[in-house]
């Protein structure tokens, strides 16, 4: 009965909601770091200081602000200086003057400078909305990259436990083979199981390094920078598709903000083009004097304006072009809002499917498989069962635990899309004040823990 007791102690208990999975840690005494909103926000802040895409977007905003500051209300005055060699009318240059000069200033009429400034401000608003959109993308990518790293930790821990079970079974089968109670093929088969599990564990550890490198690239760290052990959160509660949630997504979606800014920019550009059909008016002073005695011969005031009425139809065509661009931007926004509604619906369906799968494996499949393998081991120990049945049931337990971890990971990855791409805040997932989970599928709130330490 000693091997049976050892076997029961080695059985996985992570299928139970209250059980903890032992994760491999880079440091011997480092506790697993839970994935929380605070953790992801810290990583986002780190990426915001050194990620090239975010820095480039911020530089565009700075350039747009300089463009706003560079809009001129008053155009540069025009100065003209001329020198006459001969008189066109046969008169003496000393009488007409051989030096001509003028100073001309364009007047800021018809609201043209104000419209130009509004266009520049609209471009700056578009650049700012693009920064928020790019930051939202980076946040989503970081959130999605954190969970596969934690999943690799969980899978490696499961495979390591199964490898320990396989090693124990190899020793136990060898002892029973020497006693003549099992066949040699049983012992060889257990050795094959141990070899396969060893390779699976090695592959998963390499996958963990790859997931860590992908996250390091997003943070612009050295790709080989180590990470502490991360712990997957519990199963999150369901999220319903409601009109209120759709309204929040449409209001908070960063891409919607960009499209609305582009509509405002197109409207400002259309208004500027509309004002271009008004004439440009300039006033100035001019004079003539003779270089021989520096005497002023004549002086006069001037006013200039162009005559745009001959091209009135052309100006109207330009304005209609800009109005079409405004309409295009509005239709693109309407189309994207429909896309958001559809994608949000499919996203919530996938979140619900992942949650139901996780609950199924946690509450039904894994416990039944564990009970079945316990009975199969007892039958095999008493020489009433086949080792094939024992191995098959053990694979079912392993598969159930792996699929449970992957389902939880998928659910939280999809929830991260909902939170970081669409701006939907789910308080039960992101706030520490939510109640603890029960044993029947209510997820615990993600605690707001201390930031993740960096290891160099």
- Each residue's pLDDT tens digit, 204-222: 999 999 999 999 998 888 8
* Nearest partner of 234 among 4, 14, 12, 1, judged by Cα: 14
User: For a pLDDT cut of 70, what percent of the chain falls above it?
Assistant: 83
At 352 the pLDDT is 94
> 73 vs 10, which has greater pLDDT?
73
How far is residue 419's CA from residue 431's CA, in Å, rounded to a whole number?
13
pLDDT band at 1 (very low <50, low <70, confident <90, very high): very low
Cα dihedral 268/270/271/273 (nearest 10): 120
pLDDT of residue 95: 62
138-147, 248-257, 348-357, 440-449: least confident range:
440-449
Element (H, E) at 377: helix 366-381
pLDDT at 12: 38
428 Cβ neighbours under 8 A, 6+ residues apart: 236, 237, 434, 443, 445
CA–CA distances in Å: residue 163 to residues 231, 243, 321: 21, 49, 70
Least confident range of 283-297, 352-366, 391-405: 283-297
Q: What are residue 106's phi and psi, to 5 degrees?
A: -80, 135
Bridge partners, 298 (sequence order): 288
* List of long-range contacts for 436-440, beta carbons under 8 Å, 24+ apart: 437/17, 437/234, 437/235, 438/17, 439/16, 439/17, 439/18, 440/363
Average pLDDT across the chain, whole number: 80
Where residue 88 falls among pLDDT bands split at 50, 70, 90? low
* pLDDT of residue 369 exceeding 50: yes
Listing DSSP states for 150-176 in one string gives HHHHHHHHHHHHHHHHHHHHHHHHHHH
Q: For residues 58-86, give the mean pLDDT.
A: 81
Say whether pLDDT at 404 is over 60: yes
- What pLDDT, on the 0 to 100 scale, is given for residue 10? 40
Strand partners, 104: 78, 284
Among the listed residues 45, 34, 11, the one whose alpha carbon sits nearest the alpha carbon of residue 142: 45
Tell me the pTM: 0.72
Average pLDDT of the residues in 31-59: 85
> What average pLDDT score do residues 312-331 get?
89
pLDDT at 427 (0 to 100): 54
Specify the range with the lowest mean pLDDT, choosing from 85-89, 196-200, 363-367: 85-89
Rounded Cα–Cα distance for residues 133 and 258 (Å): 7
Q: Residue 139: pLDDT above 80?
A: yes
User: Among 50-54, 144-148, 422-426, which is the least confidently predicted range?
Assistant: 422-426
The pLDDT value given to residue 87:
56
3-state secondary structure 226-291: CCCCEECCCCCCCCCCCHHHHHHHHHHCHHHHHHHHHHHHHHHHHHHHHHCCCCCEEEEEEEEECC
Q: Which among 175, 210, 208, 212 has a CA at the least distance from the CA of 190?
A: 175
Model pLDDT, residue 30: 61
**For residue 136, pLDDT beyond 60:** yes
Question: What pLDDT is recorded for position 7?
Answer: 40
Q: Which two tokens stand for residue 90?
A: 């046969």
Does residue 430 register a pLDDT over 50?
no
Query: What confidence score (pLDDT) does residue 440 get?
Result: 34
How much is the pLDDT for 93?
65
3-state secondary structure of 33: strand
* pLDDT band of 160, cuts 50, 70, 90: very high
Kindly tell me if the per-residue pLDDT of 365 is higher than 90.
Answer: yes
Domain at 2-430: CATH code: 1.20.1600.10
% the chain with pLDDT above 90: 25
User: How many residues are there in the chain?
Assistant: 456
Decide if pLDDT at 431 tops 60: no
Residues 59-86, mean pLDDT to the nearest whole number: 81
Domain ranges, ordered by start, for the chain: 2-430
In what helix (H) or strand (E) does residue 443 lie, and over which residues does it extend? none
Q: Poorest-confidence range of 36-45, 141-150, 152-161, 437-446?
A: 437-446
Characterize 41-72 residue by residue with b for buried, 16 or more Cβ atoms within 10 angstroms of its Cβ, and e for exposed: bbbbebbbeebeebeebbebbeebbebbeeee
Confidence of residue 183 (pLDDT cuts 50, 70, 90): confident
Counting runs of H as helices and runs of E as strands, what totals does the chain give? 12, 6
Whether residue 75 is predicted with pLDDT greater than 50 in this model: the reply is yes
Burial class (CB in 10 A: 0-12, 13-18, 19+), 456: exposed
pLDDT band of 271, cuts 50, 70, 90 = confident
CB 228 within 8 A of CB 23: no
């Amino acid at each position: 009965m000693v091997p049976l007791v050892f076997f029961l102690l080695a059985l996985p208990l992570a299928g139970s909601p209250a059980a903890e999975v032992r994760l491999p840690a880079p440091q011997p005494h480092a506790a697993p770091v839970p994935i929380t909103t605070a953790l992801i926000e810290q990583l986002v802040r780190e990426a915001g200081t050194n990620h090239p895409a975010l820095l480039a977007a911020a530089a565009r905003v700075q350039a747009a602000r300089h463009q706003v500051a560079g809009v001129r209300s008053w155009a540069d005055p025009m100065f003209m200086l001329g020198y006459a060699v001969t008189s066109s009318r046969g008169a003496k240059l000393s009488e007409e003057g051989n030096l001509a000069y003028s100073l001309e200033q364009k007047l800021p009429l018809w609201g043209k400078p104000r419209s130009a400034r509004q266009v520049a401000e609209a471009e700056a608003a578009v650049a700012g909305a693009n920064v928020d959109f790019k930051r939202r993308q980076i946040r989503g990518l970081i959130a999605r990259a954190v969970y596969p790293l934690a999943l690799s930790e969980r899978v490696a821990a499961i495979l390591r436990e199964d490898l320990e079970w396989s090693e124990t079974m190899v020793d136990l089968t060898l002892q029973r083979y020497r006693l003549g109670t099992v066949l040699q093929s049983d012992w060889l088969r257990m050795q094959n199981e141990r070899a396969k599990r060893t390779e699976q564990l090695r592959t998963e550890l390499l996958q963990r390094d790859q997931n860590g490198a992908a996250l390091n690239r997003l943070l612009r760290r050295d790709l080989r920078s180590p990470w502490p052990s991360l712990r997957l959160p519990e199963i999150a509660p369901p999220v319903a598709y409601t009109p209120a949630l759709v309204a929040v997504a449409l209001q908070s979606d960063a891409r919607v903000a960009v499209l609305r800014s582009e509509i405002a920019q197109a409207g400002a550009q259309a208004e500027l083009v509309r004002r271009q059909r008004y004439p440009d008016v300039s006033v100035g002073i001019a004079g003539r004097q003779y270089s021989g005695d520096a005497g002023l011969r004549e002086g006069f005031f001037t006013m200039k304006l162009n005559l745009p009425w001959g091209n009135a139809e052309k100006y109207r065509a330009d304005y209609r072009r800009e109005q079409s661009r405004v309409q295009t931007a509005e239709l693109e926004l309407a189309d994207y809002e429909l896309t958001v509604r559809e994608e949000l619906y499919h996203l919530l369906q996938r979140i619900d499917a992942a949650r139901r799968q996780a609950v199924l494996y946690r509450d039904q499949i894994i416990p039944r498989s564990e009970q079945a393998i316990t009975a199969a081991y007892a039958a095999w120990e008493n020489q009433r069962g086949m080792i094939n049945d024992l191995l098959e049931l053990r694979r079912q337990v392993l598969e159930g635990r792996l699929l449970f971890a992957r389902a939880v990971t998928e659910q939280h990855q999809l929830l991260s899309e909902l939170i970081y791409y669409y701006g939907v805040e789910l308080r039960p997932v992101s706030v520490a004040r939510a109640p603890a989970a029960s044993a029947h599928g209510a997820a615990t709130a993600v605690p707001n823990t201390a930031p993740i330490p960096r290891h160099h």
